């Protein structure tokens, strides 16, 4: 129960931070990406602030023997780049640049009733489901087939 409450509190704090910084407004993101137009550097300042907080807290947390509300830290172990990661990052970046939302700000804006954010979140959910279906289909297609036709005697 403590882990769920802590996760909820962190999510609320993140949502408040996104709202206060204006990062739930797609115009802020698209203005940041418009290097040769009306460039807005505020997203860069938000990122630098987040990196600074992370750098300090990561060092403090890494010294602990374990997390407060779990039996172990859950850190990524893979370090390779594969086609799924590169394709996913590319699709994420294109969607972020076109819509001005990434998942966190999109959810916060949708919860606040923004119609474009609701459309973004619905599209994101559909895309996630589509990726799941395609991945399962590709996994099944790669599996060796063990059907009766492969065991039929040849003439």
pLDDT tens per residue, range 76-124: 898 899 988 899 899 888 888 888 888 888 998 998 888 999 999 999 9
Quote helix, strand, coil % in the chain, to nearest 5: 70, 0, 30
What pLDDT does 151 receive? 58
Residue-level pLDDT at 53: 93
Residue 18, C-beta contacts closer than 8 angstroms, at least 6 positions apart: 24, 104, 105, 108
Rg value, the chain, Cα: 22
Q: Are 106 and 120 in contact (CB under 8 A)?
A: yes
Determine, yes or no, domain membership for 155.
no
Residue ranges making up the domain that contains 79: 2-144
Within a domain: residue 127?
Answer: yes
Percentage with pLDDT > 70 across the chain: 94
Percent of the chain with pLDDT over 90: 26
Q: What is the pLDDT of residue 152?
A: 58
Q: Is residue 86 part of a domain?
A: yes
Residue 153, Ramachandran bin (φ over 0: left; ψ between -120 and 50: alpha; else beta): beta
Asked whether residue 78 is domain-assigned, the answer is yes
Helices 26-33 + 42-62 axis angle, to 10: 100
Is 151 contained in some domain? no
The band of 74, judged by pLDDT with boundaries at 50, 70 and 90, is: confident
Q: Give the count of domains, the chain.
A: 1
User: Is the pLDDT confidence value at 60 over 70?
Assistant: yes
Position 150 in a domain: no
- Asked if the model's pLDDT at residue 148 lies above 60, the reply is no
Residue 117 gets the label, from left (phi > 0), alpha (psi -120 to 50) or beta, of alpha
């Amino acid at each position: 129960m403590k882990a769920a409450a802590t996760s909820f509190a962190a999510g609320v704090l993140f949502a408040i931070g996104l709202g206060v910084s204006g990062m739930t407004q797609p115009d802020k993101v698209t203005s940041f990406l418009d290097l040769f137009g009306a460039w807005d550097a505020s997203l860069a300042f938000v990122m630098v602030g987040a990196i600074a907080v992370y750098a300090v807290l990561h060092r403090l947390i890494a010294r602990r023997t374990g997390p407060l509300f779990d039996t172990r830290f859950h850190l990524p172990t893979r370090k390779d780049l594969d086609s799924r990661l590169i394709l996913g990052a590319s699709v994420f970046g294109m969607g972020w640049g076109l819509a001005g939302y990434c998942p966190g700000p999109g959810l916060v804006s949708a919860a606040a009733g923004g119609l474009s954010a609701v459309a973004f979140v619905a599209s994101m959910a559909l895309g996630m489901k589509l990726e799941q279906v395609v991945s399962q289909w590709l996994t099944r297609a790669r599996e060796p087939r063990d059907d009766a036709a492969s065991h039929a005697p040849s003439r």
